[in-house]
Amino acid sequence: MSTTRLLLLGVVRIFQPAYGYQLRRELLTWNVQDWANINPGSIYTGLRTLAKHGYLQEIEQDGPHRPGRTSYKLTADGETEYFSLLREILWTVDGFHPDRMGAALAFMWSLRRDEVLAALEARIVQLEQRQKAEPFSERQILEDPGTPNHVIEMFRITTARDNGELDWTRSFHQRIQDGAYAFAGEPDDWTPAPDLITHWDETPKPPTD
């Protein structure tokens, strides 16, 4: 639910005020029906639900060709909910719901670069901790006579995803630190000063004589 809510709030935030068909069409170009498990027909229902809960404002637009067309824009509560969801997903690893990070990637640019870097560093630590615990979790599954045999392979495929995400997160962090993309408060052609480009996980080298 949090993934769907973030996607709907985020796409409204980009195009507001925007009408339902426009938002649905945009989300379908992102193939959300495949990776976020969103039924295209439920997008309209989701927008109305967010409006009902006070996160979106419905604006009735009358015209000669489209009488009574409803547009949406974020309310103050919707703006707060958008950033709360984005930060919750970005800062927390959830190996069983990879769609959450996919949604966060779509809107990461609305945060400042230093926060995104800090969140990715936190994700790296979480993924490294999971990696360290994996042999013991696997041993527990194998030694439990009451656990069905297929459970170990379910665990291993999740482990493989975690390890792949760890590799990607490290490289993504470095790309952002090296100046890739533009984030909140930056011009589109932003580049870091050369002396600000560092490798956050490098061990400082002792001075040489």
CB 77 within 8 A of CB 9: no
- The model's pLDDT over 9-28, given as tens digits with 9 standing for 90+, comes to 999 999 988 888 888 889 88
Q: How confident is the model at residue 198 (pLDDT cuts 50, 70, 90)?
A: very low
Q: Which amino acid is at 127?
A: L
Q: Where are the beta strands (DSSP E) in 53-168?
A: 56-61, 69-74
Provide the pLDDT for residue 44: 87
Beta bridge pairs of residue 73? 57
- The model's pLDDT over 107-157, given as tens digits with 9 standing for 90+, comes to 999 999 999 999 999 999 999 999 999 889 888 889 888 888 898 888 888
Higher pLDDT, 65 or 135: 135
pLDDT above 90: residue 91: yes
Q: CB neighbours of 103 closer than 8 A, spacing ≥ 6? A: 3, 6, 7, 10, 36, 89
CA distance 45 to 68: 17
CA 140 to chain centroid = 32
Averaged pLDDT for residues 40-63: 86
Provide the pLDDT for residue 173: 96
Q: CB neighbours of 112 closer than 8 A, spacing ≥ 6? A: 183, 184, 185
